[in-house]
Amino acid sequence: MTDASTLPGQPRGGVLSGPATARAVNVLAPNASAMTLDGTNTWILSEPDSELAVVVDPGPLDEGHLRHVVDTAEQAGKRVALTLLTHGHPDHAEGAARFADLTGTKVRALDPALRLGDEGLGAGDVVRVGGLELRVVPTPGHTADSLCFHLPADRAVLTGDTVLGRGTTVVAHPDGRLGDYLDSLRRLRSLTVDDGVHTVLPGHGPVLDDAQGAVEFYLAHRAHRLAQVETAVEDGYGTPAEVVAHVYADVDRSLWPAAELSVRAQLEYLSEHGLI
């Protein structure tokens, strides 16, 4: 058995649902797959002595899951007062409108199409509910509308799909762009260095207790893959599908369609920088 402390980011073992920090509780959605890992992490955030809570990423349109989130909050003496989205992919956001119906909340997101209410989310915004403070961190790259939420009181960051609890994420070309993604990873690294963030509360997979190690791993992984793709093109692999078959030969074939999105983003990046 591999010691979790030797893995990137030091992932926690055990059950994924339940308390993760003093202010964050996870309710795992029942949508496990190769792409969603164990399922979508729906986060309930609240100050310990507050009756109000914020929910980040209600997840898929699954009535049982959405009601479970509400019940979990209520059993802790909390009322959901606001819903936030890290980005618009269905496994994170499809259930948001129904969840808003169940809780009577507004939905705030970067993408206006996902909002319910007048307020969106953007760089520099601070969300305050019941004494809880969340700082909005724009992290485009996985998608154009990707956001992270810095929870300074717990020295934690909610990363959506920008950093996962296990494995690496997809740069979902053409909406996602590699240059943006690398900039976003560097922004997260600054949070770990300058703001003392040490815990990653991801959109999928286990909590990571070494945020800086996780981000450094992601940056190194991206540099390695980019070099592999550049070499593959130089060796005559001309199409994204050919590059995937060569560079991602060790990856489960069921993930190749997603890998091709990242390859397309990498090819675009290399072309823009005059490297191919």
Q: What three-state secondary structure class fits 88?
A: coil
Q: What three-state secondary structure class fits 244?
A: helix
Question: Is 91 part of the annotated catalytic residue set?
Answer: yes
Whole-angstrom Cα distance, residue 157 to residue 198? Answer: 8
Among 38, 91, 145, 180, the active-site one is: 91
Q: What is the 3-state secondary structure (H, E, C) of 170-206?
A: CCCCCCCCHHHHHHHHHHHHHHHHHCCCCEEEECECC
Whole-angstrom Cα distance, residue 16 to residue 20? Answer: 9
For helices 211-234 and 256-272, the axis angle rounded to 10 degrees is 80
Q: What three-state secondary structure class fits 41?
A: strand
Is residue 24 a contact partner of residue 33, using CB atoms and an 8 Å limit?
no
> Rg of the chain's alpha carbons, rounded to an integer?
19
Whole-angstrom Cα distance, residue 180 to residue 257? Answer: 21
Whole-angstrom Cα distance, residue 228 to residue 231? Answer: 5
Closest CA to 233 of 247, 243, 218: 243
Is residue 43 a contact partner of residue 55, using CB atoms and an 8 Å limit?
yes
Whole-angstrom Cα distance, residue 194 to residue 119? Answer: 29
Q: What three-state secondary structure class fits 80?
A: strand
Catalytic residue list: 91
